[in-house]
Amino acid sequence: MHFRRMPIEVESPEQMGYDTIRNNLSESSYTDTLLRDTGIDTGLYDMLLAYGSHAGHEGLRQLIVKNTPLKRDDVLLTIGAAGALFIIATSLLGKGDQLIVVRPNYATNLETPRAIGAELKYIDLRFEEGFALDLDQIERAITHQTKYISVTYPHNPTGVCLTAGELRQLTALTERKGIRLLVDETYRDMVFGEPPPLAVEYGDHVISVSSLSKTYGLPGIRVGWIICRDPQLMETFLAAKEQIHICGPVLDEEIAYRYLQQKDRYLPPIRADIRQKFDIVKSWMRQQEHFEWVEPGGGAVCLPRMRQPEKVDIDKFYDILLKKYGTYTGAGHWFDMPRHYMRIGYGWPSLASLEEGLQSLTRCLVEAIR
Ligand SMILES: Cc1ncc(COP(=O)(O)O)c(C=O)c1O
């Protein structure tokens, strides 16, 4: 494999230093959680710091599939959703193997297959089409060489969602074609309205990925997971996990377990807060002369763009946005997109910081017009 660092990680706010940014509109998650605020009594002094179960904390795996037809053994815990994506790509792909992948995407979904030397066939989502997924285009792209299809819903970076019906059609198409489907569902609990079923509920050929990072603001406990109902494939994923790090971090998994036990308490206020922040972005967007967007249907991000990029000095725009206004967004190149697109993460900042950041985007664009 040939690794190279991705701009989204090199330029991530934690690498830049959180103290260098006043209005952080670059995150894709909900506000980071203070352990104390969860009210969890960790009681961690009594924990034995031994290797844990290789598949992961059994109670936690059970909780992840609570209220679904799935079983605990369909779940493999990983180091974040990022770890899950790495295990899946390296298990299913070799050099020259073909993969169909939606673009833009969370960068790892593109970069790990590239690092493997796989042949990527892109399904490009277009602003003009509301970033909608074209199932006919996917069907046309499938060949006998296709190892799997990789999608992310709710989508990062646009926040566009699939309805339960669309998800069913996609899973039916891939099943009919005998191809595996990877659905990165890391933002699922942040869908506005009722989330669709877990994609993996639609068939044994589907692989779901998620984590606690985004919806719950817990990216520092590196707990994610793969769900799949194909036991042979799960055995391969476990083998990959064991070769990378044997088991997961027992402390993180225990905290995740205690947190998810109280999911019904934590989730409603988080969802209400995200909705309030979304309404702020929506009303800001209504007043914009120089920005346009596709309104998201969930998650905590959107991908607006400048209406007339040819009239804007884009380097100057990002430069003064941070240096003068202390505001930071995810520039388009984080997602293989032109830089006049930018991801705005509205779930992470405080209400005041979000408002200030949005106002500075408006001002900054005017200042950067040539
Ligand atoms: C779609 C998607 N998948 C996976 C990840 C990885 O998240 P984590 O490893 O923190 O669970 C991210 C992070 O931004 C993401 O946006």
CATH 3.40.640.10 residue spans of the chain: 48-263
What is the pTM for the complete model shown?
0.96
Q: How confident is the model at residue 41 (pLDDT cuts 50, 70, 90)?
A: confident
Please give the class, per CATH, of domain 7-33+266-367.
alpha beta
Residue of 29, 106, 227, 335 to mutate, ligand 1, most atoms within 8 A of C-beta: 106
Transcribe 96-123 into DSSP letters.
T-EEEEEES--HHHHHHHHHHT-EEEEE
CA of 332 to the centre of ligand 1 (A): 17
Residue 62 in this model has a pLDDT that exceeds 80: yes
The torsion angles phi and psi of 149, rounded to 5 degrees, stand at: -115, 135
C-alpha count within 13 angstroms, C-beta hemisphere, residue 235: 3
CA of 159 to the centre of ligand 1 (A): 14
Residue 42 in this model has a pLDDT that exceeds 80: no
What DSSP element (H or E) covers 239? helix 231-245
Q: Residues 6 or more apart from 219 whose CB is under 8 A from it?
A: 29, 32, 80, 211, 213
Window from 6-20, 36-50, 137-151, 293-307 with minimum mean pLDDT: 36-50
CA of 224 to the centre of ligand 1 (A): 9
Under 8 Å between Cβ of 225 and 64: yes
Residue found under tokens 């120089």: 290
The helix/strand/coil state of 64 is: helix
Atom 15 of ligand 1, residue of closest alpha carbon: 106
Task: Return the structure tokens found at 221.
Answer: 């406990």
CATH 3.90.1150.10 residue spans of the chain: 7-33+266-367
Distance separating alpha carbons of residues 282 and 92, to the nearest angstrom: 40
Task: Note the pLDDT tens digit of each residue in 226-257.
Answer: 999 999 999 999 999 999 999 999 999 999 99
Q: What is the pLDDT of residue 302?
A: 98
How far from chain centre, in Å, is Cα 22? 23
Phi/psi class of residue 288: alpha, beta or left (left: φ > 0; alpha: ψ in -120 to 50)? beta
Atom 16 of ligand 1, residue of closest alpha carbon: 106
Phi/psi class of residue 313: alpha, beta or left (left: φ > 0; alpha: ψ in -120 to 50)? beta
CATH code given to domain 48-263: 3.40.640.10
Beta strands in 128-175 (DSSP E): 146-152
